[in-house]
Structure 1
Amino acid sequence: MSHSNEVELVANGGWDERILVCRNAPLVTTFIVITTRYVVVVDTMINEVTAGKLLDVARPYLTDGRSLLIINTHADYDHSWGNQLFAAMGVPIIGRRASVPIFSEPDTLTFLQRVQTDEPGIFGNVIPTPPTILFDDKLTIDGGDLTLELFATPGHTVDHTALYIPEINTLLAADAAEAPYPVARTTAGLPVMRQSLAKLAAIHAETALYCHAPTDIGPQLLHDNITYFDKLEAACRAALARGVPANPAEDADVIELVGLPYAQAVPQIARWQNIHEYYRTRGHAAQLRMMLESVSRES
């Protein structure tokens, strides 16, 4: 996928007007929360240019004594590679302690080198920059009129964070839930990710916004993601009982082996059925492989 420096402010779809939604299409959606004390930029997108455009959106609200804060929901490139702009300005960047090593680990640097070669105009100047204010499991920001409750939601990544704003019963779930489904990086992360989904659903938020889902999809996405993985688990348990191996050969048709096509695992409505072919095929197969291995480890 090629990348763009374009950032658009998304028209408000009914959420509280103190939340601004910004999009670097088609890759990622991020947020700016305006409180009486702070202007909080939630994720910094892919580079200094996109971060600068987020700052342009935030700047008119930096009045009446408000300070600028940055939150990283996790260390993935589309959420944190704009950090260097704000770090150079001395703006506090808040993130999980678990994220810090990710910015300098070999996989990150290898990926950076590849995208700098492929798209130097986008990534040529990126310097992965970790957060400067660290927390482990929970952190509360008292914004005056709004409270931002940050809490660990690992699984998609080990460092993932979600935000809840109780005064407006709004959840910023980041990548803990996605359309059509979130992805754990490791088999061990899969059950943890499902626990995080359950934790988010238990909040019963009136409004839920995500970094990789339509803004109008709402809290129902949490339940649809939970149902998707529940169906995968049931199908994989049945497949293992029939003798399907926990680790099928690389060239095996895992969807056929397990007997659960994508279309049967998601809601029967157009939004879920009309998606990129990857999610129906290779992506869904990868989820099934991970679930087979995860379930087999329980015995």
Structure 2
Amino acid sequence: MTATDTVVLRPNAGWDPRILVCACGDLVDVFIVLTERYAVIIDTLINTATATALLELARAHQGHRQLLAINTHADWDHAWGNHVFAGPGAPQQVPIIASRRCAQRLRARDARALLAAKRADEPGRFDDVQLTPPTILFDEALAITGGDLTLQLFATPGHTPDHIAIYIPQISTLLAGDAAELPFPFAESAATLPQLRDSLARMAALDPAAALCCHAPADAGPKALAQNMAYFATLEHHCRAALAAGVPAHPAAAADVEALVGFPYDAAVPIELDAAALAGFYRPGHQAAIRMMLAYLAEVGS
């Protein structure tokens, strides 16, 4: 396995010990929740190697519990390990729970095209991935009653249309998936910006005592929700002012949009994070968010 294809347990930094945080290199964190009845795997990782390692971790902590799996959404780093849990080649058949739209996305032409592209870019790494839809589907909400803990699954669109988050009321813990992220989450398009902000507000309204994200330091906690909401509020403020000053709603491809709206990348990153040390895609992600916000505000009338 490559460096990002290793799967290890993160040391517990204060969250409930029934939640295991599993790090796939520095790519993504996924989770195992141990209830009285179930060992619930939340997201299945990226390929056979990582999904198998995750399954082995779950089995090591399973005890008498039944295994379940959840997909927060169909993105490649969250659901491309599904074939290890379901289907004819799976070493063990495990129910996979997700939104109906997640199943649709995994069956879509775009998913097959992305898999083909990744196979071409990284020979061997994704060759045995079989795009496998979840097996138990819901639309807006679903509860898994685990005995001591209840996992409340609920729709949180915006990052993707199929995204769900999980809240565990008995321990006031939110598993936000990619609906919250540090330094900021990504909207799918200008049209979904309001959905993502609504999803953040809905999660924050739960007032969780603990929160874990798939792409944030494990100790970020509920503060990440407030930081994400503040990011979009600041982004909107700068973009409204820029439009009022005559900045076009659709700047040229070569335009320095950070300068146009007066919201540089370094200012968008929470102060406790080192902007220079973050993954390289966050800066273009911030620039894309500026373009989305300009387009959205112009469309609805800023």
Provide the residue aligned with 2:244 in structure 1. Answer: 241
Matching of residues 1-299 of structure 1 within 5 Å: 4-64=4-64, 66-87=65-86, 88=90, 89-267=92-270, 269-271=271-273, 273-276=275-278, 278=280, 281-299=283-301
User: How far does residue 290 in structure 1 lie from its aligned partner after superposition?
Assistant: 0.5
- Supply the distance in 2 between the matched residues of 1:179 and 1:52 (Cα, whole angstroms): 27
Q: What amino acid maps onto 1:295 in structure 2? A: L
Pair 145,211 (structure 1): closer, same or farther in 2 beyond 3 Å: same
Paired residue type of 1:76: D
AA matched with 1:10: R
SS at match of 1:297: helix
Amino acid at match of 1:177: A
TM-score (norm 1): 0.95
C-alpha contact 1:149 1:165 (8 A) present in aligned 2: yes
Q: Is the 8 A contact 2:184 2:228 kept in 1?
A: yes
**Mean CA deviation greater in 94-103 or 152-161:** 94-103
Any stretches of 5+ residues in structure 2 without a counterpart? none
Q: Deviation per CA, 1:52-110, whole angstroms, max 9, x where unpaired?
A: 1111111133323x111000000001000110011033211000001112112222111
1:263, distance to aligned residue in structure 2 (A): 2.7
Q: 1:237 Cα deviation (Å)?
A: 0.6
Q: d(CA) in 1 for partners of 2:77 and 2:280? A: 20
**Is the 1:194–1:226 contact (alpha carbons within 8 Å) kept by the matching residues of 2?**
yes
TM-score under structure 2 length normalisation = 0.94
Report the identity percentage. 53
* Range moving further from structure 2, 25-34 or 255-264: 255-264
Kept in 2, the 8 Å contact 1:263–1:280? The answer is no
| 1:4–1:122 Cα contact (<8 Å) kept | no
Q: Is the 8 A contact 1:224 1:266 kept in 2?
A: no
SS in 1 for 2:165: strand
8 A Cα contact 2:176 2:211, kept in partner: yes
